[in-house]
C-alpha cells in the first residue's frame, strides 16, 4: 500500500518528530489510502501483518479497519470509543480525555491500549464531533488518531470548512477488528473464535446503524418483548463494562450485538449476563421468532 499524505500538520514540531520516529520504527503505522472490497467470509479469513482497510461488499456504507495488533487498534480507537460509548460521570458537556486523563482512566480500570476494547464501531458523524471537540479543547492526539482523521478526509467522508470539521457522509460506519494472534508480553491472545466473535459483533453494529428496519425491530424487542426485569439484567451487565446506560440507542444496539452476534463465551455468556443458560437461549429464540429483517446469520 502507498502511504497516505498527511493533510494536517501536527500541532508542534515535537509531536511531528515523534510521529515520524514512530512510523520509521513501526512501518505499519503509515496508513494506506487504498481500500479493498470484501464480503463477510473474505474479511474474516484474511491474514495480514499490516493495516488493511475493507469496504464491506454486502453493505457499502460499512468500512472495516483490520489491524495487525491490538495496541495499534487501541491507540487509534480507544479514546473515541470512550467518548462515544462510556459513562462520563460529572461532566457538564461532552469531553475528550487528554493523554494523561485517558491513561489514568485506563489504569483505574486495569486496562491498557491493548485490552481496553477488542473491537470498535463509530459513525462518521460521531468522528466529526470528536475531532471538533479535540480542536476546541486543544487535545494532543496520538499519531494513529491523526491518521484516522486523514483517512476520513482523504475518502471525503468529512471536510474542514472555516476551521470546523463537517460530515459529508455522516451515516458511513467505521468498524475495527484485530488479527488472530498468540499472547504477547503486552497484549492478550486473539483466538480464531475471538476474531469471529469480534467481527460478528461489530458487523451487527454496522447493520443496526444502516438498516432502519432492523434497528426498529431491535427497539421493539427491547421495549415490548423483554420484561422490566430482563432489561434491568442487561443494564447491569452494561454498567459493569462502564457503558453509558443513559443513551437508549447505544444500549439497544449493544443488546442485539451481545445477544445474537457474540459467540465467544469469554466475551458473553449466560453466566456473564447473570442468567441461566436456558433463559439466555429463550431470549435468543424470542429474537429469532420475530423474524428480524436482516441477512446477518443469527445465533
Distance CA 225, CA 64 (A): 32
Identify whether the C-beta of residue 6 lies closer than 8 Å to the C-beta of residue 28: no
In a domain, 85, yes or no: yes
Q: Is the pLDDT of residue 27 over 50?
A: no
CA dist list (Å): 4 to 78, 254, 279: 22, 33, 49
Q: Is the domain of 70 the same as that of 177?
A: yes
| Residue 267 burial class via C-beta count within 10 angstroms: exposed 0-12, middle 13-18, buried 19 and up | middle
Q: Is the domain of 159 the same as that of 73?
A: yes
Q: Is the pLDDT of residue 121 over 90?
A: yes
Q: Is the domain of 221 the same as that of 134?
A: no
**Residue 215 backbone dihedrals phi, psi, to 5 degrees:** -60, -40
Q: Is the domain of 169 the same as that of 261?
A: no
Q: Which residue has the cell 471536510?
A: 159
Q: 171 by DSSP, 3-state: which?
A: coil
Q: What is the pLDDT of residue 30?
A: 52
CA dist list (Å): 187 to 112, 118, 140, 178, 244: 9, 11, 25, 12, 26
Q: What is the pLDDT of residue 34?
A: 86
In a domain, 295, yes or no: no
In a domain, 8, yes or no: no
Q: Is the domain of 174 the same as that of 56?
A: yes
In a domain, 182, yes or no: yes
Q: Is the pLDDT of residue 293 over 50?
A: yes
Distance CA 97, CA 140 (A): 10
Out of 161, 190, 219, a domain closes at 190
Q: Is the domain of 110 the same as that of 173?
A: yes
Which DSSP helix (H) or strand (E) runs through 17?
A: helix 13-25
Q: Is the domain of 66 the same as that of 153?
A: yes
Distance CA 84, CA 87 (A): 9
**Dihedral, 160, 161, 165, 168 alpha carbons, nearest 10:** -80
In a domain, 298, yes or no: no
- Please provide the average confidence, as pLDDT, over all residues in the chain: 90
Percentage of residues in the chain with pLDDT exceeding 90? Answer: 85
Q: What is the pLDDT of residue 224?
A: 97
pLDDT digits (tens, 9 = 90+) for 181-240: 999 999 999 999 999 999 999 999 999 999 999 999 999 999 999 999 999 999 999 999
Q: Is the domain of 135 the same as that of 240?
A: no
Q: 216 lies in which domain range? A: 211-289
Q: Is the domain of 175 the same as that of 126?
A: yes
In a domain, 202, yes or no: no
Q: What is the pLDDT of residue 222?
A: 98
In a domain, 131, yes or no: yes
In a domain, 196, yes or no: no
pLDDT digits (tens, 9 = 90+) for 129-175: 999 999 999 999 999 999 999 999 999 999 999 999 999 999 999 99
Q: Is the domain of 123 the same as that of 238?
A: no
Q: What is the pLDDT of residue 88?
A: 79
- The DSSP line for 132-168 is HHHHHTTPPPPHHHHHHHHHHHHTTSEEEETTEEEES
Beta pairing partners, 166 = 159
Q: The whole model's pTM is what?
A: 0.88
Identify whether the C-beta of residue 237 lies closer than 8 Å to the C-beta of residue 283: no
Q: Is the domain of 217 the same as that of 181?
A: no
Beta strands across the sheet bearing 173-178? 36-38, 52-56, 62-67, 173-178, 120-123
- The DSSP line for 178-233 is EPPB---SSS--B-HHHHHHHHHHHHHHHHHHH-HHHHHHHHHIIIIIS-HHHHHH
Q: Is the pLDDT of residue 29 over 70?
A: no
Count structural domains, the chain. Answer: 2
Out of 158, 190, 222, a domain closes at 190
pLDDT digits (tens, 9 = 90+) for 262-289: 999 999 999 999 999 999 999 999 999 9
Q: Is the domain of 52 the same as that of 150?
A: yes
Q: 106 by DSSP, 3-state: which?
A: helix
Q: Closest Cα to residue 174, out of 219, 232, 119?
A: 119
Amino acid at each position: 500500500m502507498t502511504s497516505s499524505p498527511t493533510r494536517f500538520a501536527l500541532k508542534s514540531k515535537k509531536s511531528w518528530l515523534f510521529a515520524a520516529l514512530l512510523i520509521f520504527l513501526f512501518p505499519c503505522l503509515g496508513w494506506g489510502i487504498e481500500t479493498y472490497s470484501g464480503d463477510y467470509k473474505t474479511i474474516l479469513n484474511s491474514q495480514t501483518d499490516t493495516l488493511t482497510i475493507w469496504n464491506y461488499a454486502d453493505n457499502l456504507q460499512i468500512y472495516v479497519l483490520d489491524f495487525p495488533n491490538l495496541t495499534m487498534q487501541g491507540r487509534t480507537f480507544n479514546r473515541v470509543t470512550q467518548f462515544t460509548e462510556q459513562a462520563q460521570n460529572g461532566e457538564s458537556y461532552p469531553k475528550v480525555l487528554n493523554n494523561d486523563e485517558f491513561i489514568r482512566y485506563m489504569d483505574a480500570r486495569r486496562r491498557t491500549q491493548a485490552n481496553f476494547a477488542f473491537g470498535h464501531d463509530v459513525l462518521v458523524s460521531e468522528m466529526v464531533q470528536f475531532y471538533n471537540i479535540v480542536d476546541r479543547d486543544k487535545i494532543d492526539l496520538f499519531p494513529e488518531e491523526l491518521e484516522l482523521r486523514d483517512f476520513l478526509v482523504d475518502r471525503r467522508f468529512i471536510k474542514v470548512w472555516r476551521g470546523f470539521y463537517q460530515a459529508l457522509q455522516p451515516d458511513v460506519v467505521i468498524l475495527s477488528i484485530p488479527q488472530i494472534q498468540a499472547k504477547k508480553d503486552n497484549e492478550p491472545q486473539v483466538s480464531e473464535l475471538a476474531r469471529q466473535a469480534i467481527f460478528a459483533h461489530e458487523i451487527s453494529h454496522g447493520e443496526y446503524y444502516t438498516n432502519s428496519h432492523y434497528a426498529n425491530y431491535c427497539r421493539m424487542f427491547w421495549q415490548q418483548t423483554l420484561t422490566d426485569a430482563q432489561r434491568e439484567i442487561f443494564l447491569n451487565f452494561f454498567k459493569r463494562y462502564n457503558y453509558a446506560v443513559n443513551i437508549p440507542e447505544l444500549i439497544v444496539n449493544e443488546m442485539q450485538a451481545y445477544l445474537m452476534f457474540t459467540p465467544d463465551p469469554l466475551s458473553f455468556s449466560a453466566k456473564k449476563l447473570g442468567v441461566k443458560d436456558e433463559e439466555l437461549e429463550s431470549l435468543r429464540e424470542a429474537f429469532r421468532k420475530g423474524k428480524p429483517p436482516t441477512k446477518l446469520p443469527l445465533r
